[in-house]
């Protein structure tokens, strides 16, 4: 299980957020992890993590210089893992930027769909531990179903294709808490695996496994 | 299944005579007893099923602050649950430094009362989700408040205090909670000077008053002596999370026992 592997993971550092736990979580899974702030550094990685906290428009703005590099990574079949806002950025757009009066902000459009705001009856942000119901198989969730994960968000992903929801979670309504594109190589979690205890570490391990070029 | 109520152990960290970070726990209001190494304690609570972890820096010096940030880094590398760090945060740079050391949220008390703009600055730069505003409430029985509750037949309002309750500010806790929320606070910590150290239960009236007045999550703090007290503050006040220190540190209850007791009462917890 703990054999040392030569899997290199790049975490895109486009400004804010605590990247320390994502990095140490991936290192526990025996990956070689680099936090990169240069779009050119993505092409050599076996897997790319798009982290993120904060607002959609700002996130897309900060991630702007990485847009082309991320597309190239996806075209070459390198796994791309979006976390929290990073997952929302995989979609086409978000009500958040419209609400903030920032107009239509273009997401990466790798998983077609919109990010929507929770209904006003719910306490927002949705903050805390909630359960994952796995809807379909995906290697990222190998060995996970029904476990708790840690969420902090006010918007949720609503993919156009129902099949893009790999796992769902209930908060006022049932929303996609893990999404993936058809290829299975572009995926994301609304929750923070690096803050979700053993379940989260398992998901990070699964990701490293999935990115392993010798697999 | 639904969103669970969070059980949060909290440690107060100071520097010991060798300049190392150490956890101290209050006994009967004042006396602080050495309780352990912060990193070891954080690891143990992580393994025991804590839902989050709060780390309060009670040092006052610049050297203490450096030691503290190093300790936060060590804790963040070991603990894969959310970590909130508080104590002495007064500027945007303090927030940034603390988050960069590996905290997921910062808890701010005096710094926000002195300069409320800090809340909006922090929220704009780092997101509301990481700005926790902490209040030290004290019961007042005069007629200067905005929001009154009836406690044992008496009219009471709650005042925000600073310096561990030694100094009043004249600010009404409920009013301040609403203001902090509108300025961008993502979560509120409600401490009670009256309940602190009593182990007779949380201050339910102040916690309920804040929960009713805001829509952001509220963490009840101060006064916990048993899992029953947590049940009370969840059921009667509507708190989203409950914080405790000594009952866990002194081994009176484990996190597992606490959660099992809450689960038995039908309160959703992460088991």
CATH number of residue B77's parent domain: 3.20.20.70
Q: What is the pLDDT of residues B50-85, one digit of tens each?
A: 999 999 988 867 777 888 899 999 999 988 999 999
Tell me what pLDDT residue A102 has. Answer: 75
What is the rounded distance in angstroms from the CA atom of residue B85 to the CA atom of residue B42? 13
A84 is catalytic: yes
List chain B residues with CB under 8 Å of A194. Answer: 80
Judge whether B270 lies within some domain.
no
Please, how many CA atoms are within 13 Å of residue B205, restricted to the half-sphere of its CB?
19
Judge whether B182 lies within some domain.
yes
Q: Which domain does B110 fall in, by range?
A: 6-264
Picking from B1, B2, B3 by the largest number of A CB atoms within 10 A of its own CB, the best residue to mutate is B3
Q: Which of B4, B125, B127 sits opposite A128 (nearest CB)?
A: B4
What is the rounded distance in angstroms from the CA atom of residue B100 to the CA atom of residue B86? 14
The count of domains in chain B is 1
Say yes or no to pLDDT of B29 above 60.
no
Q: Out of A96, A147, A194, A209, which one is annotated catalytic?
A: A194
- Alpha carbon dihedral A117, A121, A124, A130, in 10-degree steps, equals -90
Q: Which of B3, B102, B129 sits opposite A130 (nearest CB)?
A: B3
Tell me what pLDDT residue A1 has. Answer: 47
Q: Which of B99, B187, B270 sits opposite A18 (nearest CB)?
A: B99
Tell me what pLDDT residue B164 has. Answer: 78
Taking the mean position of all CA atoms in its chain, how far away is CA B78? 21
Determine contact, residues B213/B236, Cβ cutoff 8 Å.
no
Average pLDDT of the residues of chain B: 92
List chain B residues with CB under 8 Å of A200. Answer: 80
Whether domain A8-211 has CATH 3.40.640.10: the reply is: no
Tell me what pLDDT residue B45 has. Answer: 94
3 state SS of A20 = helix
Number of A–B residue contacts, CB under 8 Å = 94
Residues near B14 by beta carbon (within 8 Å), at least 6 away in sequence: B21, B22, B24, B32, B58, B59, B64
Phi/psi of residue B205, nearest 5 degrees: -60, -45
Given phi > 0 = left and psi -120 to 50 = alpha, else beta, which region is A108? Answer: alpha
What is the average per-residue pLDDT within B164-180?
94
Split at pLDDT 50, 70, 90, the class of B30 is low
B168/chain A closest Cα distance in angstroms: 31
Interchain contact, B80 vs A54, CB within 8 Å: no
List chain B residues with CB under 8 Å of A83. Answer: none
Judge whether B269 lies within some domain.
no
What is the rounded distance in angstroms from the CA atom of residue B136 to the CA atom of residue B117? 19
A214: which DSSP letter?
T
What is the rounded distance in angstroms from the CA atom of residue B167 to the CA atom of residue A75? 61
- Which of A91-94's residues contact partners 24+ apart within 8 Å by CB, and which partners? A91/A115, A91/A157, A91/A159, A91/A179, A94/A56, A94/A155
pLDDT under 70: residue ranges of chain A: 1-5, 15-17
Picking from B46, B71, B82, B97 by the largest number of A CB atoms within 10 A of its own CB, the best residue to mutate is B82
Q: Which residue of A has its CA nearest to B105?
A: A18
B184/chain A closest Cα distance in angstroms: 12
Task: Return the structure tokens found at B164.
Answer: 């561990």
What is the rounded distance in angstroms from the CA atom of residue B265 to the CA atom of residue B44? 26
Please, how many CA atoms are within 13 Å of residue B248, restricted to the half-sphere of its CB?
31
What is the average per-residue pLDDT within B225-250?
96
List chain B residues with CB under 8 Å of A123. Answer: 215-217, 240
What is the rounded distance in angstroms from the CA atom of residue B21 to the CA atom of residue B185? 29
Q: Where are chain A's structural domains?
A: 8-211
Give the distance between the most distant pair of CA atoms in chain A.
Answer: 51
Interchain contact, A124 vs B2, CB within 8 Å: no
What is the rounded distance in angstroms from the CA atom of residue B246 to the CA atom of residue B225? 8
Interchain contact, B186 vs A127, CB within 8 Å: yes
Q: What is the ipTM of this complex?
A: 0.89
Tell me what pLDDT residue A124 has. Answer: 80
Q: What is the pTM of this model?
A: 0.92
A192 is catalytic: yes
Q: Which of A21, A146, A152 sits opposite B76 (nearest CB)?
A: A21
Instruction: Inform me whether the C-beta atom of residue B216 falls under 8 Å from chain A C-beta atoms.
Output: yes
Judge whether B212 lies within some domain.
yes
Q: Which of A130, A148, A150 sits opposite B82 (nearest CB)?
A: A150
What is the rounded distance in angstroms from the CA atom of residue B3 to the CA atom of residue B12? 28
């Amino acid at each position: 299980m703990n054999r040392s592997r030569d899997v290199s993971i790049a975490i895109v550092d486009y400004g804010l957020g605590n990247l320390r736990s994502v990095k140490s979580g991936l290192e526990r899974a025996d990956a070689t992890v680099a936090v990169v702030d240069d779009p050119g550094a993505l092409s050599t990685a076996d897997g790319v993590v798009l982290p993120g906290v904060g607002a959609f428009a700002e996130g897309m703005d900060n991630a702007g210089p990485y847009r082309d590099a991320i597309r190239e990574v996806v075209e070459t079949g390198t796994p791309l893992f979006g976390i929290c806002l990073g997952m929302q950025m995989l979609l086409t757009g978000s009500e958040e930027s419209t609400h903030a009066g920032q107009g239509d902000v273009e997401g990466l459009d790798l998983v077609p769909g919109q990010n929507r705001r929770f209904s006003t009856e719910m306490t927002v942000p949705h903050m805390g531990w909630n359960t994952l119901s796995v809807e379909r198989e995906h290697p990222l969730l190998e060995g996970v179903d029904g476990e708790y994960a840690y969420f902090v968000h006010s918007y949720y992903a609503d993919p156009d294709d129902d099949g893009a929801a790999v796992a769902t979670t209930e908060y006022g309504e049932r929303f996609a808490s893990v999404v993936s594109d058809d290829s299975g190589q572009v995926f994301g979690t609304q929750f923070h695996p690096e803050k979700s205890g053993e379940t989260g570490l398992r998901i990070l391990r699964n990701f490293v496994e999935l990115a392993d070029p010798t697999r | 299944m639904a969103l669970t109520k969070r059980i949060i152990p909290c440690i107060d960290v100071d520097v010991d005579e060798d300049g190392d970070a150490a956890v101290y726990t209050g006994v009967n209001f004042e006396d602080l007893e050495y309780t352990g190494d912060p990193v070891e304690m954080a690891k143990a609570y992580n393994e025991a099923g804590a839902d989050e972890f709060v780390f309060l820096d009670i040092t006052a010096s610049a050297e203490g602050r450096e030691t503290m940030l190093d300790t936060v880094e060590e804790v963040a590398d070991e603990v894969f649950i959310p970590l909130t760090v508080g104590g002495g945060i007064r500027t945007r740079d303090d927030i940034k430094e603390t988050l960069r050391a590996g905290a997921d949220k910062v808890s701010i008390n005096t710094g926000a009362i002195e300069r409320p703009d800090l809340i909006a600055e922090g929220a704009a730069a780092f997101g509301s989700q990481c700005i926790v505003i902490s209040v030290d409430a004290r019961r007042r029985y005069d007629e200067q408040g905005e929001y009154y509750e009836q406690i044992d037949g008496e009219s009471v309002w709650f005042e925000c205090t600073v310096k561990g309750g030694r100094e009043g500010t004249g600010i009404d806790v409920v009013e301040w909670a609403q203001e902090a929320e509108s300025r961008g606070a993502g979560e509120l910590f409600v401490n009670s000077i009256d309940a602190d150290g009593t182990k007779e239960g949380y201050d339910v009236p102040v916690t309920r008053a804040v929960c009713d007045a805001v829509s952001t999550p509220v963490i009840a703090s101060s006064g916990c002596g048993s899992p029953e007290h947590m049940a009370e503050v969840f059921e009667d006040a509507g708190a989203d999370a409950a914080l405790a220190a000594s009952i866990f540190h002194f081994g009176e209850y484990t996190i597992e026992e606490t959660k099992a007791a809450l689960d038995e009462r039908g309160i959703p917890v992460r088991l």
